[in-house]
Amino acid sequence: MVKKNACIFISGTGSNLKNLILQSRNYNFPINIKIVISNNKNAFGLIYAKKNSIRHFLINTKNDKYIYQLTNILINEKIELICLAGYMKILPKKFLDLFRKKIINIHPSLLPKFKGLNTYKRVLENKEKKTGCTVHFVNKNLDSGNIVCQKTFYIAPNDDEFTLKTKTQRLEQVVFPEAIIKIYRYIRI
Ligand code: GRF
């Protein structure tokens, strides 16, 4: 199988990055993780890139030129899929236009509900019966692009923000790889 070159964007822990690296070792998994991009030099996830000898780049989003540098890296590396895995910055419209339908994001709620930050708190405050996580294409509106894959679980009466996060992130380990398989097998971007 000819794998597509992928890039993972992170800002923090990198549990999704870790899982995607593991999945990508599978011959049948459609992507090869060529590079990792982080906007945070202290992102724990960078350890997984280093451990697995994956090239990684730190970007400084405060520098006006960062988007040109980033674009160059992605074009030079022939990146065909960009996975935002806990990347906490908004990407400029110009960049989104350039990589249209090539950027996906994972979000810890059942979109279109609870876009944005503090999802677990808001889910509990709203007394939702169920929650979950979503992988979606990225467009210029926050957490609003077409949904690729979504998984749900029922909230237990004693769930708090911590347990919701744990349960959601466990499900993310299933949803992200499944979304990537779906994109190349059925959506064919
Ligand atoms: C995930 O829960 C994801 O849904 C959200 O940020 C978190 C990132 O976690 N966008 P990690 O860095 O992959 O551990």
* Residues 45, 3 share a domain: yes
CA of 60 to the centre of ligand 1 (A): 20
CA of 47 to the centre of ligand 1 (A): 16
* Residues 147, 68 share a domain: no
* Residues 126, 76 share a domain: no
**Domains of the chain: total:** 2
Per-residue model confidence (pLDDT) at position 93: 94
* Residues 81, 117 share a domain: no
Structure tokens at 35: 């590079």
* Residues 164, 92 share a domain: no
Helix, strand, coil abundance in the chain, percent, nearest 5:
35, 25, 40
Per-residue model confidence (pLDDT) at position 1: 82
pLDDT in tens, 70-121: 999 999 999 999 999 999 999 999 999 999 999 999 999 999 999 999 999 9
* Residues 94, 19 share a domain: yes
Residue 62 belongs to a domain with what CATH number? Answer: 3.40.50.170
How far apart CA 179 and CA 185 sit, in angstroms, is: 10
The residue out of 59, 83, 99 marking a domain boundary is: 99
Residue 3 has pLDDT above 80, yes or no: yes
* Residues 77, 49 share a domain: yes
Q: What DSSP letter does each residue of 135-146 carry, written as one string?
A: EEE--SSTT-SP
Residue whose token pair is 């930050």: 117
Type of residue numbered 75? I
Nearest-atom index, ligand 1, CA of 165:
2
Nearest-atom index, ligand 1, CA of 106:
4
CA of 43 to the centre of ligand 1 (A): 12
Per-residue model confidence (pLDDT) at position 11: 98
pLDDT above 70 covers what percent of the chain? 100
Q: Which residues line ligand 1 (CB under 6 A)?
A: 10, 12-17, 45, 85-86, 106-108, 133, 169, 172
* Residues 62, 123 share a domain: no
* Residues 112, 85 share a domain: no
The residue out of 54, 72, 99 marking a domain boundary is: 99
Q: Looking at the annotation, which residues are catalytic?
A: 107
pTM, rounded to two decimals: 0.97
Angle at 99 between CA 48 and CA 189, to 5 degrees: 90
Residue whose token pair is 């299933």: 174
| CB crowding 3-41: b at 16 or more within 10 Å, else e | bbebbbbbbbbbbbbbbbbebbeeeebbbebbbbbbbbe
* Residues 68, 1 share a domain: yes
| Domain containing residue 79 | 1-99
CA of 67 to the centre of ligand 1 (A): 22
Per-residue model confidence (pLDDT) at position 37: 98
Work out the pLDDT band at 189, boundaries 50, 70, 90.
confident
The residue out of 63, 78, 99 marking a domain boundary is: 99
Nearest-atom index, ligand 1, CA of 133:
4
Per-residue model confidence (pLDDT) at position 143: 97
How far apart CA 150 and CA 107 sit, in angstroms, is: 10
Residue 64 has pLDDT above 90, yes or no: no
